[in-house]
């Protein structure tokens, strides 16, 4: 399945674009996606934290991703 | 509750007005502004980036959690700016109203503290000689 991932802040700069389309195995979990991305973009592993958001909610490691989900990579937030 | 994310200057008086209630004896506000120094370096300006749909959703969640913790809260108003901000610009306003003042201090502090932990907004500091995404690295 193809999934689209929105990228923000330092994650967007590390990857070099504001979104990614990846071919992921059916049943891919949030943790699996993070592991794949850290493998492809090792600088992501140096961040203080990195979360996956699915449909505007933070996703636990075992959340399964679906093709139509709105997926985003959330580097350490610093609003306020 | 009134929750807002904007790339325009925040009208502080309007946010305060949105928190007013005739049932409240206290309106408490936190106003976050852009500071000219960070860890000893001179800051020229800040760039805020947001993930708008999730930021608004999470801001609403924070306000709802505050309402659960402090059921006496009458009104909650939060406005966060994004885009490029200059020194002294208002980046965020949190305003709440409660019947008595002690609850208003506690609820206001809870909202700004939780906002900083969960709302997907990112701040990049620009110095005279470079830029840094705040808190990105350990």
The alpha-carbon gap from B121 to the nearest alpha carbon of chain A, in Å, equals 5
Of B49, B53, B91, the CB nearest to A9: B49
**Model pLDDT, residue A24:** 95
The alpha-carbon gap from B29 to the nearest alpha carbon of chain A, in Å, equals 13
Contact (Cβ atoms closer than 8 angstroms) between residue B19 and residue B97: yes
| Interface predicted TM-score of the whole assembly (ipTM), two decimals | 0.96
The alpha-carbon gap from B34 to the nearest alpha carbon of chain A, in Å, equals 10
Question: Distance between CA B115 and CA B120 in Å, rounded?
Answer: 9
Residue of chain A whose alpha carbon sits nearest to that of B53: A56
- pLDDT tens digits along B55-111: 999 999 999 999 999 999 999 999 999 999 999 999 999 999 999 999 999 999 999
**Model pLDDT, residue A67:** 95
Contact (Cβ atoms closer than 8 angstroms) between residue B59 and residue A58: no
CATH of domain A2-74: 3.10.20.30
Q: Is the CB of B121 less than 8 angstroms away from the CB of A78?
A: yes
- pLDDT tens digits along B50-66: 999 999 999 999 999 99
Contact (Cβ atoms closer than 8 angstroms) between residue B24 and residue B14: no
Mean pLDDT, chain B, whole residue set: 97
- pLDDT tens digits along A6-26: 999 999 999 999 999 999 999
Q: Is the CB of A78 less than 8 angstroms away from the CB of B135?
A: yes
**Model pLDDT, residue A45:** 97
Can you tell me the mean pLDDT for A34-54?
Answer: 98
**Model pLDDT, residue B23:** 96
| Residue extents of the structural domains in chain B | 2-133
Answer whether A59 touches B (CB < 8 Å).
no
Q: Is the CB of B116 less than 8 angstroms away from the CB of A53?
A: no
- Chain B hits for A56, Cβ within 8 Å: 53-54, 57-58
Share of residues in chain A with pLDDT > 70 (%)? 100
Contact (Cβ atoms closer than 8 angstroms) between residue B12 and residue B66: no
| Residue extents of the structural domains in chain A | 2-74
- Chain B hits for A19, Cβ within 8 Å: none
Write the class of the CATH domain B2-133.
alpha beta
Answer whether B121 touches A (CB < 8 Å).
yes
> Can you say whether residue B38 is alpha, beta or left, with left for phi > 0 and alpha for psi between -120 and 50 degrees?
beta
- Chain B hits for A78, Cβ within 8 Å: 116, 121-123, 133-136
């Amino acid at each position: 399945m193809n999934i689209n991932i929105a990228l923000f802040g330092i994650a967007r700069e590390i990857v070099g674009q504001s979104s990614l389309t990846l071919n992921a195995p059916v049943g891919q979990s949030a943790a699996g996606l993070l592991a794949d991305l850290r493998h492809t973009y090792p600088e992501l592993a140096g961040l203080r934290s990195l979360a996956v958001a699915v449909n505007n909610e933070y996703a636990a490691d075992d959340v399964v991703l679906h093709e139509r989900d709105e997926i985003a990579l959330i580097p350490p937030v610093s609003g306020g | 509750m009134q929750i807002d994310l904007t790339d325009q200057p925040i009208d502080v008086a309007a946010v305060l007005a949105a928190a007013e209630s005739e049932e409240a004896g206290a309106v408490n506000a936190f106003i976050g502004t852009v500071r000219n120094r960070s860890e000893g370096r001179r800051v020229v300006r800040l760039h805020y980036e947001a993930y708008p749909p999730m930021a608004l959703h999470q801001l609403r969640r924070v306000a709802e959690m505050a309402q659960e913790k402090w059921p006496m809260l009458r009104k909650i108003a939060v406005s966060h700016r994004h885009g490029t901000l200059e020194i002294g610009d208002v980046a965020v306003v949190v305003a709440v109203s409660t019947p008595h003042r002690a609850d208003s201090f506690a609820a206001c502090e809870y909202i700004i503290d939780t906002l900083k932990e969960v709302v997907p907004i990112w701040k990049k500091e620009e110095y005279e000689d470079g830029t840094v995404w705040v808190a990105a690295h350990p």
